[in-house]
Structure 1
Amino acid sequence: MAQLRLLLAAAMVAVAAVCSASAGFEFEEATVDAIRHGFKSGRLTSKQLVLFYLDRIARLDPLLRAVLEVNPDALAQAARADAERAAGHRRSCGPLHGVPVLLKDNVATRDRLNTTAGSLALLGSVVRRDAGVAARLRAAGAVILGKANPSEWSHFRDTAVPSGWSARGGQTLNPYVLSADPCGSSSGSAVAAAANLAAVTLGTETDGSILCPASKNSVVGIKPTVGLTSRAGVIPISPRQDTVGPICRTVSDAVHVLDAIVGYDALDAEATGAASKYIPRGGYGQFLKMDGFRGKRIGILNGFFVKPYGKKQLDVYQKHIAEMRKHGATVIENIEIVENLNETTKIHLWSIDLVLMQAEFKLSLNAYLSDLLYSPVRSLADVIAFNNAHPVEERIKDFGQSLLIDSEKTNGIGPDEKSMLEIIDYVSTEGLEKLMRTHRLDAIVTPNNDASSFFAIGGMPAITVPAGYDDEGVPFGICFGGLKGYEPRLIEMAYAFEQGTKVRRTPSFKA
């Protein structure tokens, strides 16, 4: 505890020194809009902003372990952004120009940063190009600040691996209650956003990996419709479910990032081509509306706002639902999500999806590795062999690698897997999709990320927003999810909720 107090005290001194050099600009909790205003007024430069975050990472990250590495070129990128702004460069008008962003370490960057999914097996590998989303961030003028610590292999190594742990980065800690679960697999991204280690961050989700860490770290996470953001250059699990999205301190910030990263990518042509029709003309910022609940129909799934949550948390949720009604929403409670599905399908749905993901993981990871310009490993089998050859560094005895081994045993998408895909499609169509269309719902609202699997198998979007803190001070969130392309209405509700509740507070670093 004494060491923690000294660390925090040192951080405060360093932060104060940087702040004093920028004419009183409020760095901590600074939003993208505030940063833009600071740039415009001359009270702030991109270089000052990057220095602030680099200093904060240096002071706090030895405790939190949210950042794997910082970009040695970040200050040069910031200086270039400042020069472009001074010269009136056209792209300097964009909201992310000169703004530092941390990327989850499965998002490839063609620079001096590593891209490893937290594994030592990929340390030193060289990617052929930026990931599609990274290229879009660069085009918007964002500063790539570094890579955030993920759960290793996006939590697809072994179920015994803790959320937020990787061999490269160690264990990421929740900045509110250090002993609490930071949740995975975009743990480092969420913790970094919560602790003000970056202006904004990027995460990825296959099932819950944006929504859960955002909920547990009192930040906003947007899981976009699959294909709305490119997965090209992202170390994969399942092309059927993988998506890339923002994790930020506010809905507005997350929307700015979303606007920058959506769109067609020839290297992920099928998915991004199909999803392009959902992108609204004029972008997503137009849906940041204070009256976002007015006229909305919201569904509450049967059995979700119950135990294992404590009375305090359940009371908070019920108060929030009442406020939604007060602000114009029609709330339909006690809806059964799978009322038309037989019991066998209900019981085996998630095991079926796991078998499919294992087959998809082997195929897609091998394709990713084979495309690298250089890599110590070229296949999933090589990764398993590397771990076995480095058992201490990869903590094989403690955590194992059963998911990797089971994935290696698969043989592609054969007749059995195709039958499983039909079951998954049936569950999605006859479950959440039918429910939402039958009740004419704009959103399903759940605690934290409790329905993430239903959104995952359907490739559907969801947004989680801070909702409160339990008796120990651990954050919890509330999630708005809907059908493919429902991002506009979800943003309206998430923003209205955020602005009406103002729940978020800065981390307490409670031991």
Structure 2
Amino acid sequence: MKLKALAFSLTALLQLGAQAAQPFPIEETSISKIQAALKSGKLSCTDLVDAYLARVAAYDKQGPVLNAVLTLNPAAHELALAKDAEFKKTGKLSGPLHCVPIAAKDNYNTLDMPTTGGSEALKGVRPAVESTVTRKLREAGAIILMKTNMHELALSGTTVSSLGGQTRNPYDLTRTPGGSSGGTGVAIAANFAAAGLGSDTVNSIRSPASANALVGFRSTLGLVSRAGVMPVSDTQDVAGPITRSVADAAIMLDVIAGFDAADIPTARGASHIPKTYTAYLDPHGLKGARIAVLKSFLGTKPEHEEVNLAMANAVAALKKAGATVVEIDDPMFDAGAINNDYDVQKWEFKPLFNAYLQSLGDATPVKTLSEFIAAGKFNKPTLEKFLSASNAIETPREQKEYLLRLSKLDGLRDRLLMRMKEQNVETIIYPLQKRLVVPIGELNQADRNGILAAMTGFPAFTVPIGFSKPSANAPIGVPIGMDIMGKPFDEATLVKVAYAFEQATKVRKPPSTTPALK
């Protein structure tokens, strides 16, 4: 009996030893799991950062060659060592994002890495002032681990740039990853970092979220500061998170939301921020909810069938979880027409870009949009037409067409709120893109619907709702995402609905091209 007991004890000890020796699995992990492991001493910041860097080394320029990363933080290992030393000394984490590795789109100003907008013309440029969002993340304990490729200057949606080339979708290497924040989307989908940052002028946070089975969050205009983010349009630009889960997005939002004197519209949101968005992570949040499908944002052609099927399944899941789903059928809500008749990027880009270039001082060789175009160091197939058109407009903010477009925006907002009131709904759903994300080689990302949130300034969460049929190029299918749009500054309701849907469906799957490293 004693020998049996001894054998049992030795077996138990060996099992415990094997468990203790197991490395922390970073693939598909969450911010809360990282924090718990660091706090318990089961994980060091150094090991965490090194594990993410190993995945970048294995899969970004080798293996599937995803080409998502432009720059790695050269001080990453030293920053991690400092975090470990701090924790050893104090026994406390440095903040709610202690040692959380972040992938930042390369239009966020960072002092320790260049900020290029993906442009060869701005290669090596280091702004003198950190963006407000990355500063807040660092203050919360995060490590900005990398700067990611993007569609150059955030002006289109296929994520190709003169500096970084073409980023590839990890679920189907022949397809684009959405954009313009496609590098961040791929980095988070492939587990190169714990969470990411994108910017959204039309679709640019939510498009790569949809195409990479991620959560993308475009907040209400004025909730999150855009200071220090390379601008496109002050009417439409928003900065925000791209994550693998709604909970991680809520944690990120807690850190980055708030007033910033450097971005005046944030004064609008200052009184609308709850103590914590994580309080709305309710798995039963769909019970009794009323949600409207925006019928006009569904496609009617054969290429739209797979997305429509995923939407039908999402509606069924919402109903099963306790929600009532109704329709809004209004021909005014036509994504193509809104893009053609309301978008103001062309008029606002030049003065904003010129001001940004001038803020860089001697750090940049080009000081104006005219000089940038003359240098010719940009992706001409996707940008030349827009840049030339924007640059040709004299006194753009005084143009009749521009002022007319601005004057119509209140009517669009009011009509949307009226339709929501008629149906007694707090949220609206629609596919972020009517068809699958386009193949590499196409110049534009077709059939996207995100323009409605961009022009109204309303908040929208993109969540995964399914995959296309598997194929030779896409072994588990191509991801499909759905927008959940809400009323201004009602992010709390969006967190509640999006989280409950996520927990009821658990759609996300990691790409097969980037498995766990041995």
* Length-normalised TM-score, structure 1: 0.87
CA contact (8 A) 1:107 1:235 kept: yes
| Separation in 1, partners of 2:375, 2:297 | 42
- Partner residue, 1:412: 396
Q: CA deviation at 1:348?
A: 5.4
- Relative to structure 1, the CA distance from residue 425 to residue 59 in structure 2 (aligned partners, 3 Å threshold; closer, same or farther) is same
SS of residue matched to 1:64: coil
* Cα deviations by residue, 1:457-497 (Å, 9 ceiling, x for unpaired): 01111011111110141110121011211211111111111
2:176 is the counterpart of 1:181: yes
- Partner residue, 2:44: 45
| Separation in 2, partners of 1:303, 1:349 | 12
Q: CA deviation at 1:253?
A: 1.1
- Partner residue, 1:110: 111
| Separation in 1, partners of 2:42, 2:336 | 58
- Partner residue, 1:299: 292
SS of residue matched to 1:147: strand
- Partner residue, 2:154: 154
- Partner residue, 1:126: 126
- Partner residue, 1:351: 340
Q: CA deviation at 1:310?
A: 5.1
Q: Which runs of 5+ in 1 are unaligned?
A: 1-18, 157-161, 340-344
Name segments (4+ residues, structure 1) moved above 6 Å.
Answer: 19-22
% identity of equivalent residues: 38
Task: Work out which of the residue numbers 420, 445, 449 in structure 2 matches 1:436.
Answer: 420
**Pairs within 5 Å for 1:208-287:** 208-268=203-263, 270-280=264-274, 282-287=275-280
| Separation in 1, partners of 2:268, 2:411 | 20
C-alpha RMSD of the superposition? 2.2
* Cα deviations by residue, 1:220-258 (Å, 9 ceiling, x for unpaired): 111111121111010000111101111111111111111
- Relative to structure 1, the CA distance from residue 61 to residue 139 in structure 2 (aligned partners, 3 Å threshold; closer, same or farther) is same
Partner amino acid, structure 2, of 1:420: R
Task: Work out which of the residue numbers 197, 207, 213 in structure 1 matches 2:202.
Answer: 207
- Partner residue, 2:500: 496
SS of residue matched to 1:222: strand
- Partner residue, 1:315: 309
Of residues 361-370 and 406-415 in structure 1, the stretch that sits farther from structure 2 once superposed is 406-415
Partner amino acid, structure 2, of 1:235: M
SS of residue matched to 2:191: coil
Task: Work out which of the residue numbers 351, 360, 372 in structure 2 matches 1:363.
Answer: 351
CA contact (8 A) 1:22 1:43 kept: no
- Relative to structure 1, the CA distance from residue 46 to residue 287 in structure 2 (aligned partners, 3 Å threshold; closer, same or farther) is same
- Relative to structure 1, the CA distance from residue 422 to residue 277 in structure 2 (aligned partners, 3 Å threshold; closer, same or farther) is same
| Separation in 2, partners of 1:81, 1:168 | 32
| Separation in 1, partners of 2:21, 2:99 | 15
SS of residue matched to 2:397: coil
Task: Work out which of the residue numbers 386, 396, 401 in structure 2 matches 1:403.
Answer: 386
- Relative to structure 1, the CA distance from residue 68 to residue 346 in structure 2 (aligned partners, 3 Å threshold; closer, same or farther) is closer
Q: CA deviation at 1:347?
A: 7.5
CA contact (8 A) 1:155 1:184 kept: no
Please identify the structure whose Cα radius of gyration is greater.
2
- Partner residue, 1:140: 140
SS of residue matched to 2:85: helix
SS of residue matched to 1:413: helix
SS of residue matched to 2:342: helix
| Separation in 1, partners of 2:72, 2:322 | 45
SS of residue matched to 1:197: coil
2:68 is the counterpart of 1:66: yes
- Partner residue, 1:458: 456
SS of residue matched to 1:370: helix
- Relative to structure 1, the CA distance from residue 185 to residue 87 in structure 2 (aligned partners, 3 Å threshold; closer, same or farther) is same
SS of residue matched to 2:484: strand
* Cα deviations by residue, 1:126-150 (Å, 9 ceiling, x for unpaired): 3121001011011101001010100
* Cα deviations by residue, 1:301-353 (Å, 9 ceiling, x for unpaired): 123344345545433322321221222212112432628xxxxx998542333
Partner amino acid, structure 1, of 2:320: K
CA contact (8 A) 1:428 1:454 kept: no
CA contact (8 A) 1:301 1:337 kept: no
Q: Which runs of 5+ in 2 are unaligned?
A: 1-17, 434-447, 471-476
- Partner residue, 1:378: 367
| Separation in 2, partners of 1:348, 1:316 | 25
| Separation in 2, partners of 1:487, 1:425 | 20
Q: CA deviation at 1:377?
A: 1.1
| Separation in 2, partners of 1:421, 1:38 | 49
2:325 is the counterpart of 1:331: yes
Partner amino acid, structure 2, of 1:425: D
| Separation in 1, partners of 2:482, 2:53 | 31
* Cα deviations by residue, 1:172-198 (Å, 9 ceiling, x for unpaired): 000001112211100000010000011
Task: Work out which of the residue numbers 458, 461, 484 in structure 2 matches 1:480.
Answer: 484
- Partner residue, 1:10: none
| Separation in 1, partners of 2:501, 2:186 | 22
CA contact (8 A) 1:201 1:248 kept: yes
- Relative to structure 1, the CA distance from residue 485 to residue 400 in structure 2 (aligned partners, 3 Å threshold; closer, same or farther) is closer
| Separation in 2, partners of 1:37, 1:241 | 37
- Partner residue, 1:97: 98
SS of residue matched to 1:332: strand
| Separation in 2, partners of 1:212, 1:399 | 17
| Separation in 2, partners of 1:93, 1:443 | 36
* Cα deviations by residue, 1:265-301 (Å, 9 ceiling, x for unpaired): 1111x21111212211x21111111011122211111
- Partner residue, 2:283: 290
Partner amino acid, structure 2, of 1:384: I
CA contact (8 A) 1:337 1:435 kept: no
* Length-normalised TM-score, structure 2: 0.86
Partner amino acid, structure 2, of 1:370: Q
| Separation in 1, partners of 2:382, 2:299 | 32
| Separation in 1, partners of 2:408, 2:335 | 10
- Relative to structure 1, the CA distance from residue 357 to residue 89 in structure 2 (aligned partners, 3 Å threshold; closer, same or farther) is farther
| Separation in 2, partners of 1:20, 1:364 | 55
2:467 is the counterpart of 1:469: yes
CA contact (8 A) 2:335 2:452 kept: no
